[in-house]
Amino acid sequence: VTLRSLNEAILRSAALIVPATERAEWFAEWRAELCYVNRDATAFCLGSFRDALWLRSNNPTPTNRALRLQSPVRCALSLAVMAALSMLLAFGLRPRVKSSPMPEEDLALAWIWVFVLSLLILSTVTPLKLGEYPANRYAPSVVIRLRRWLFLFLKVGLLVSIACFGCFALAQVAEPLAPATMFLGLHLGFRWALTDQRKRCPVCLRLLTNPISIGGASQAFLGWYGTELICTHGHGLLYVPGTSTSWCCTQRWQYLDPTWSSLRP
């Protein structure tokens, strides 16, 4: 294997990360640049992974994975399907004769303990605040605003079901791994639920889009520094501060007047 074919293989594997629509052009560009690299060509090729990852995470085309979960219904349905599959797996693998030496009450207590522990650790490693959503005269009714909380509880409920049934299934084949996996599953699940919730419009519950950076870190004292996102249906704007300041330490939502609904795609 020559060094050149090894370098091309590295570029080809990095290209797999790039969104399919841009892959051919991206690969051709990197391969052309490789012809002019005389020293450390392998290090140059390894650098392509960073570029590919950047393109994948900042891809505005509809193939972006996050956009597939943009609709709240699709997000809830995906979680429900995963919960149903893990339940089927758990009951499918359940032994006919009980073999666990642990009494069922102790087992339930152990699982509740894992649940509480993952919540406690979550509150120490990540902020639980969802942000400020002050009502102004364009804010919708209380019932519509309450749907945001119902959606969060639904997501958490489905994630707990996925973790519980998934670990119940795992316990049938590798019992010692089940508590640690359940802890990790719940922890990551809760974190994702909070992050996902923060990125949604409080009115239509769709994921917000078009992030725009505003200001610079040096202007955080007198000006705004952070990212602004908008709901594609014109319900409002979300301002996420880049750094915590005394006057703005959490993300803030602003309801927009109905004329903005002309943004609707």
Residues of this chain that interact with Zn ion (CB under 5 A) are 201, 203-204, 231, 233, 235
Query: How far apart are CB 209 and Zn ion at their closest, in Å?
Result: 10
How does 90-110 read in b/e, with b if 16+ C-beta sit within 10 Å?
Answer: beeeeeeeeeeeeeeeeeeee
Query: How far apart are CB 137 and Zn ion at their closest, in Å?
Result: 17
Query: How far apart are CB 163 and Zn ion at their closest, in Å?
Result: 29
> Looking at the DSSP assignment, which residues form a beta bridge with residue 239?
228, 252
Q: Rounded to whole angstroms, how far apart are CA atoms 73 and 206?
A: 9
Closest residue to Zn ion, judged by C-beta, is 201
Instruction: Report how far apart, in Å, the C-alpha atoms of 208 and of each of 138, 198, 201, 212 are.
Output: 18, 9, 6, 11
Return the number of the residue (226 or 236) whose C-beta is nearest Zn ion: 236
Q: Which residues contact 247 (CB under 8 A, 6 or more apart)?
A: none
Return the number of the residue (12 or 198) whose C-beta is nearest Zn ion: 198
Return the number of the residue (190 or 255) whose C-beta is nearest Zn ion: 255
Q: Rounded to whole angstroms, how far apart are CA atoms 61 and 20?
A: 10
Nearest to 251, CA basis, from 242, 262, 260, 259? 242
Query: How far apart are CB 110 and Zn ion at their closest, in Å?
Result: 42
Query: How far apart are CB 230 and Zn ion at their closest, in Å?
Result: 9
Return the number of the residue (47 or 140) whose C-beta is nearest Zn ion: 140
Return the number of the residue (155 or 235) whose C-beta is nearest Zn ion: 235
